[in-house]
A and B are shown apart, each in its own frame.
Chain A
Amino acid sequence: MTVTGEVGAWSARESGAPAVVAEGLTKVYGQGDTAVHALRGVDVSFATGAFTAIMGPSGSGKSTLMHCLAGLDTVSSGRVRIGDVELTGLGDKQLTLLRRERIGFIFQAFNLLPTLTAEQNILLPLEIAGRQADRVLFDRVVETVGLRDRLGHKPTELSGGQQQRVAVARALISKPQVIFADEPTGNLDSRSGAEVLSFLRSSVRELGQTIVMVTHDPVAASYADRVVFLRDGGLVSELERPTPQAVLDTLMKLEA
């Protein structure tokens, strides 16, 4: 596959429907008196080829929303669609296959299997899916995240920033329809964080990747094309082309 071919594959999505759509999403933990309404009727959609950030105070339901969107957790009511697939009602097996084929993940910590080298970790989703790695894409991704000379190392031999970059590379390599990232820079210093965020943004710009990222950091959010704000399990506001200052202002307003 040529480089233009890949870009083509991604850009084809840009023109289509949103990558992820949620309608009337609610999530309740527990029952009766102790029930926690983590999500109360969220309607949101994420455009294909866009970088969206989810923000909100602690406990506002960001992680819960992301888990529900990614099929890691079941919803109490409402619907989630990834591409043309309706998630609600899918069994564990189908959800697993969906994650394998269409979704990439980057977590805040503990992203990598300690027994595998960086390269093996990057290729793991493809191997699980039984797909052949696209060497050209692999080289490009590795080049982009700057890990060429670290491929043979085990996670314990990498810095936190390097580990997160490996996770980014892993999320990119399978060309998923959408990448979900939960506070990917939460554990990194500002320089490493900025690096990782630049990679994420360039993968959206250059490869047409769709990314949904949960973050607490207004600076991180400013790398996104759009920010949506959650409070008490509901969508309360959003910003297009955010600047750190604008994000901070909105947050202040929310917490007030």
Chain B
Amino acid sequence: MLRTTLAGLRAHRLRLLLTSLAIALGVGFIAGTFVLTDTIEAGFTQKFAAAGDRIDVAVFPDSGRRGEEEPSLPAAALEKVRGVDGLAEAQGLVRGTAALLGKDGKAAGDRPTSGISIPEGRLNRTVIAGGAAPRNGGEAVLDEGTAERHGFKVGDTIAVLDAKEVRHEFRLVGLVDLSLDQELVYTGAVGFTTGTAWSMTGAEGFHEIDALAAEGVGQEELRASVAAALGSGVTVKTGEAYAADMARANGADDDVITMGLLMFGLVAMFVAALVIYNTFNILVAQRTREMALLRCIGATRGQVFGSIVLESVVVGLLSSGLGLLLGYGLGAGALAVLSSLDVPLPAVTPSLAPRTIALGLVIGLAVTVGAALLPARSATRVAPIAALRTQVEERVFRTGAVRVVAAALFLVAGAGATVAALSMPVGQAALVVVMAGGSLVFFALLILGPVLVRPLSAFVGWVPRRLFGVPGRLATDNSRRNPKRSATTTVALTVGVTLMTLIAVLTGTLRVTYSAKLDEQFPVDYMVQPQDRGSELSRALAEDLRSRPELTSVVALRGAVAEVGGKGAEYEVGTFTASRDFRPSLESGSIDLLKPGTAVVANYVAEDLGVKVGDRVPVKTAEAGTVELTVVALFDPQRASLSGVTVPEAEFDRYFGQVGDSSIMVNARDGVAFDRARAAVDAAADPYPTAKVASSTEVRSEFDESLDMMLMIITGLLGLSVLISLLGIANTLSLSVHERTRESALLRALGLTRPQLRRMLSVEALILGLIGALVGVALGVVYAWAAARTMTTDVSFQVPVLQILAFVALSGLAGVVAAVLPARRAARASIVGSLASG
């Protein structure tokens, strides 16, 4: 029996390869994910360990109370550490904000860069990637990413703002690699000597203190004595523990990525399972006579079953092996791409961990054998007598009661869950229920597939029947002559298309919903804000903007946090400067009522404090003590950009002093071209390095870009499943072609030309592709709608029609492409030879 199976496998090497490829792609993706994340993680762990090696003890401040500034260690703490017995050396690290200026003289980047100290001597953990560490107050270093982004190189002069926004110049003497510190990677950093770092950032004390033990003193020993010297309020770690903690935190980040990627891998494996299941089903059907013959000559049911399972084991092992190789290639390729994109990655050669190999083999084998079990069971049902029948029986499909009942159960459960979720309060739970409902409905479709194929192929085939004459008609008939086979083939494609449509509709909806929100929250052409959101803009800037003829409706907002309501709750108390015609939309009352001694209050503040129009609220001001204000109007912060508690302009100054503006909104005057208005705003902002100008178009396009990016990545990852399902179509088709060899020969004898025969198969594939896509689109759109409903209340549902049409068209096209090889083989076959076969 074993010999028969192996001989059979060898005889159909090509078919085997095509089937294996489906599994190999899935396994490859999963293995590739592990190769990629393992390698990155290994690289970081190695780096953390190297960094940890350089220190014996690290001291951190315990995180302070909420709302407090970044906690720090007092300068005296360093002296205390230096006084500890068994210490060789100790250094304090300074960290704060020091905004680097770009070559245009404006603060570089969206966020101000961090200013850090680069310690000297053995305790310097910073990896100098080029040049040298700063040695005096006139020298500074930049992290590699920031230097590259803003075009600075060693030897250049860089300008940095200190805490009081005074400009200082430094010579750039080196570049440092800060890839270990996520916070610094995010902000970018300028490194100074310790003294300069203090003066530039205005920070007091240290962010961290590192220490080295004296000869013969253990890390733990030193840690204990340092901890004893410093008392409470600080965390003291050994170098080893420090490295391990960092690696663990980083690993947790990686796990999120791994899980995300694995989701796509699992979807791919599911699709691959469908493909394998279908392939084995067809093979069993085609070899009915072979099986029957084996049974005739004495093979038991078990032996027949075993031979199919054995075949699947061979296929599974082969494809998992192939998948692991593929995965290694994918992982290495992804690493190469990432590093060519300048993603800071440690240089480590990619490796296949034993866990990855085991997992790949187990998953590949389990999916293949699992998918082959049902076909193998149906092979055992072949009666020996079937060997004697000449013409292969057409399998007549009848809709069984079990199928209908099962499908109905799934459908009812799925639809029920979905409807229930829609009436649940907006949130994560509702979303999960909707997705569960969607999965149930999908399984109902899976079960019901063979029943749906007939009407769907009649629907989809309507045009080809008329357009392509006899080949078109024959193709439509062929597409539904084996409903089970067609259904499984198309469902594999449906999975990918459903998810793609879901994502496309969700992002489309998100885009429109956000755009509507943006119009409310950013109802202006330009917004000027300080780079560091916590700081202020000079009041002169708003004045300058008002004086420019290209611009109009300049509204400046300023505010301060103060206790409101007398119960300790703090809110932003602010004001605005604007021309008389500024009319923010209020829920009740009018902006004209805002007089000294009154306030306009955001509805959420009023709700928190339990006040309504006419009530009085106490506000604890910085300069005028506690004042009692009468609430004269309420507003919705979604619709009017005002401080939570808004008071008249002059009163604000009396309460809080000369606070600068936190943001300025500007409109272009009617009829002024976009670039002229923009130039005017830029010119006004030019003298203020930290004043960042944003236009509503920019904000929108940034958001659009990030959405597009996300859509692209997800669609790309789902593309794998679609690719696998296309392999499935190609496989089904080539098996069908094989099975219909004599039919094709007959048609050719009767006068069907080669191109017509090819067209017949292409149209069949087209129909299969379109059916899969249509079901996917329908399911995707419905569930995107349901999902969007569970995410926010006021969604503007948006179906990106063009995109979805493109999905459908591409699926059809891809089906046709999948049919190219089988169709060529069919058309090439000699008529005489084919007539004789079978």
State the CA gap A61–B742 with chains docked (Å).
21
Asked if B390 is at the interface (CB within 8 A of a chain A CB), the reply is yes
At the interface with chain B, which of A40-48, A102-110, A137-145, A235-243? A102-110
Q: Which of B391, B750, B754, B838 contacts A128 (CB 8 A)?
A: B750
A100 partner residues in chain B, CB cutoff 8 A:
750-751
Asked whether B838 lies within 8 Å of A110 as measured between CB atoms, the reply is yes
Q: Which of A72, A73, A110, A129 contacts B742 (CB 8 A)?
A: A110
Q: Which of A73, A105, A114, A115 contacts B750 (CB 8 A)?
A: A105
Asked whether B751 lies within 8 Å of A114 as measured between CB atoms, the reply is no
Asked whether A96 lies within 8 Å of B751 as measured between CB atoms, the reply is yes
Q: Which of A93, A101, A111, A154 contacts B746 (CB 8 A)?
A: A111
A114 partner residues in chain B, CB cutoff 8 A:
394, 481, 743
Asked whether A96 lies within 8 Å of B394 as measured between CB atoms, the reply is no
Contact residues of B between 741 and 778, Cβ < 8 Å to A: 742-743, 746-754, 756
A111 partner residues in chain B, CB cutoff 8 A:
746
State the CA gap A129–B751 with chains docked (Å).
7
State the CA gap A96–B838 with chains docked (Å).
23
Asked whether A99 lies within 8 Å of B750 as measured between CB atoms, the reply is yes
Asked whether A105 lies within 8 Å of B749 as measured between CB atoms, the reply is yes
State the CA gap A128–B753 with chains docked (Å).
9
Minimum distance in angstroms from A115 CB to a CB of chain B: 4
State the CA gap A88–B581 with chains docked (Å).
94
State the CA gap A109–B832 with chains docked (Å).
14
Asked whether B838 lies within 8 Å of A72 as measured between CB atoms, the reply is no
B749 partner residues in chain A, CB cutoff 8 A:
70, 72, 99, 105
Asked if A248 is at the interface (CB within 8 A of a chain B CB), the reply is no
Asked if B469 is at the interface (CB within 8 A of a chain A CB), the reply is yes
Given contacts A72-B831, A124-B470, are A109 and B391 in contact (CB under 8 A)? yes
B481 partner residues in chain A, CB cutoff 8 A:
114-115
A73 partner residues in chain B, CB cutoff 8 A:
830-832
Asked whether B751 lies within 8 Å of A125 as measured between CB atoms, the reply is yes
**Tier of interface size on chain A:** 20 to 34
Interface centre among B481, B753, B754, B838, by most chain A C-beta atoms within 10 angstroms, is: B753
Q: Is the interface of B mostly helix, strand, loop or mixed?
A: helix
Q: Which of A92, A97, A124, A156 contacts B394 (CB 8 A)?
A: A156
Asked if A116 is at the interface (CB within 8 A of a chain B CB), the reply is yes
Asked if B653 is at the interface (CB within 8 A of a chain A CB), the reply is no
State the CA gap A140–B394 with chains docked (Å).
31
Asked if B477 is at the interface (CB within 8 A of a chain A CB), the reply is yes
Minimum distance in angstroms from A251 CB to a CB of chain B: 24
Minimum distance in angstroms from A157 CB to a CB of chain B: 10
Interface residue total, chain B, C-beta cutoff 8 A: 27
Interface centre among B393, B478, B749, B752, by most chain A C-beta atoms within 10 angstroms, is: B749
State the CA gap A228–B747 with chains docked (Å).
29
Minimum distance in angstroms from B474 CB to a CB of chain A: 7
Asked whether A113 lies within 8 Å of B474 as measured between CB atoms, the reply is yes
A127 partner residues in chain B, CB cutoff 8 A:
469-470
Asked if A130 is at the interface (CB within 8 A of a chain B CB), the reply is yes
Asked whether B752 lies within 8 Å of A115 as measured between CB atoms, the reply is no
Asked if A13 is at the interface (CB within 8 A of a chain B CB), the reply is no
Minimum distance in angstroms from A122 CB to a CB of chain B: 11
B752 partner residues in chain A, CB cutoff 8 A:
96, 128
Identity of the chain B residue whose Cβ is nearest the Cβ of A68 in the assembled complex: B832
A99 partner residues in chain B, CB cutoff 8 A:
749-751
Asked whether A110 lies within 8 Å of B477 as measured between CB atoms, the reply is no
Asked if B835 is at the interface (CB within 8 A of a chain A CB), the reply is yes
A154 partner residues in chain B, CB cutoff 8 A:
394
Minimum distance in angstroms from A231 CB to a CB of chain B: 21
Asked if A67 is at the interface (CB within 8 A of a chain B CB), the reply is yes
Q: Which of B470, B477, B754 contacts A96 (CB 8 A)?
A: B754
Given contacts A92-B754, A99-B749, A128-B470, are A107 and B835 in contact (CB under 8 A)? yes
A125 partner residues in chain B, CB cutoff 8 A:
750-751
Minimum distance in angstroms from B465 CB to a CB of chain A: 12
Asked whether B751 lies within 8 Å of A128 as measured between CB atoms, the reply is yes
State the CA gap A167–B96 with chains docked (Å).
92
Identity of the chain A residue whose Cβ is nearest the Cβ of B390 in the assembled complex: A109
Identity of the chain B residue whose Cβ is nearest the Cβ of A99 in the assembled complex: B751
State the CA gap A197–B394 with chains docked (Å).
29
Asked whether A72 lies within 8 Å of B391 as measured between CB atoms, the reply is no
Asked whether A67 lies within 8 Å of B832 as measured between CB atoms, the reply is yes
Identity of the chain A residue whose Cβ is nearest the Cβ of B396 in the assembled complex: A156
Minimum distance in angstroms from B357 CB to a CB of chain A: 47
Given contacts A93-B754, A107-B835, are A116 and B748 in contact (CB under 8 A)? no
Asked whether A115 lies within 8 Å of B751 as measured between CB atoms, the reply is no
State the CA gap A127–B394 with chains docked (Å).
24
State the CA gap A20–B753 with chains docked (Å).
23
Identity of the chain A residue whose Cβ is nearest the Cβ of B743 in the assembled complex: A113
Interface flags for A37-74 (1: CB within 8 Å of B; 0: not) read: 00000000000000000000000000000010010110
Asked whether B742 lies within 8 Å of A115 as measured between CB atoms, the reply is no
Identity of the chain A residue whose Cβ is nearest the Cβ of B752 in the assembled complex: A128
Minimum distance in angstroms from B773 CB to a CB of chain A: 24
Minimum distance in angstroms from B276 CB to a CB of chain A: 27
State the CA gap A67–B751 with chains docked (Å).
14
State the CA gap A100–B478 with chains docked (Å).
22
B478 partner residues in chain A, CB cutoff 8 A:
115
A92 partner residues in chain B, CB cutoff 8 A:
753-754
State the CA gap A116–B470 with chains docked (Å).
12
Given contacts A110-B391, A124-B470, are A116 and B754 in contact (CB under 8 A)? no
State the CA gap A99–B752 with chains docked (Å).
9
Q: Which of B393, B746, B756 contacts A107 (CB 8 A)?
A: B746
State the CA gap A81–B481 with chains docked (Å).
40
Given contacts A113-B747, A156-B394, are A96 and B753 in contact (CB under 8 A)? yes
A129 partner residues in chain B, CB cutoff 8 A:
751
Contact residues of B between 185 and 213, Cβ < 8 Å to A: none
Interface centre among B474, B481, B747, by most chain A C-beta atoms within 10 angstroms, is: B474
Identity of the chain B residue whose Cβ is nearest the Cβ of A101 in the assembled complex: B751
Asked whether A110 lies within 8 Å of B746 as measured between CB atoms, the reply is yes
Minimum distance in angstroms from A144 CB to a CB of chain B: 20
State the CA gap A72–B748 with chains docked (Å).
9
Asked whether B474 lies within 8 Å of A115 as measured between CB atoms, the reply is yes
B469 partner residues in chain A, CB cutoff 8 A:
127, 130
Interface centre among A70, A72, A116, by most chain B C-beta atoms within 10 angstroms, is: A72
Identity of the chain A residue whose Cβ is nearest the Cβ of B751 in the assembled complex: A100
Interface flags for A143-162 (1: CB within 8 Å of B; 0: not) read: 00000000000101000000
B477 partner residues in chain A, CB cutoff 8 A:
115-116
Interface centre among B750, B752, B753, B838, by most chain A C-beta atoms within 10 angstroms, is: B750
Minimum distance in angstroms from B833 CB to a CB of chain A: 9
Minimum distance in angstroms from A162 CB to a CB of chain B: 13
Identity of the chain A residue whose Cβ is nearest the Cβ of B391 in the assembled complex: A110
Identity of the chain B residue whose Cβ is nearest the Cβ of A124 in the assembled complex: B750
Minimum distance in angstroms from A61 CB to a CB of chain B: 13
A110 partner residues in chain B, CB cutoff 8 A:
391, 742-743, 746, 835, 838
B390 partner residues in chain A, CB cutoff 8 A:
109, 187
State the CA gap A105–B751 with chains docked (Å).
10
Asked whether A96 lies within 8 Å of B835 as measured between CB atoms, the reply is no
State the CA gap A9–B743 with chains docked (Å).
32
Asked whether A72 lies within 8 Å of B832 as measured between CB atoms, the reply is yes
A96 partner residues in chain B, CB cutoff 8 A:
748, 751-754
Identity of the chain B residue whose Cβ is nearest the Cβ of A96 in the assembled complex: B753
Interface flags for B525-558 (1: CB within 8 Å of A; 0: not) read: 0000000000000000000000000000000000
Minimum distance in angstroms from A16 CB to a CB of chain B: 23
A124 partner residues in chain B, CB cutoff 8 A:
470, 750
The 3 closest A-B pairs by CB, nearest first: A100-B751, A115-B477, A96-B753
A–B Cβ pairs within 8 angstroms, 30 of them: A70-B749, A72-B831, A72-B835, A73-B830, A73-B831, A73-B832, A92-B754, A93-B753, A100-B750, A100-B751, A101-B751, A110-B743, A110-B746, A111-B746, A112-B746, A113-B746, A113-B747, A114-B743, A115-B477, A115-B481, A124-B750, A125-B750, A125-B751, A127-B469, A127-B470, A128-B470, A128-B752, A128-B756, A130-B469, A187-B390
What 4 new A-B contacts, CB under 8 Å, besides A93-B753, A128-B750? A101-B751, A107-B746, A110-B838, A113-B743
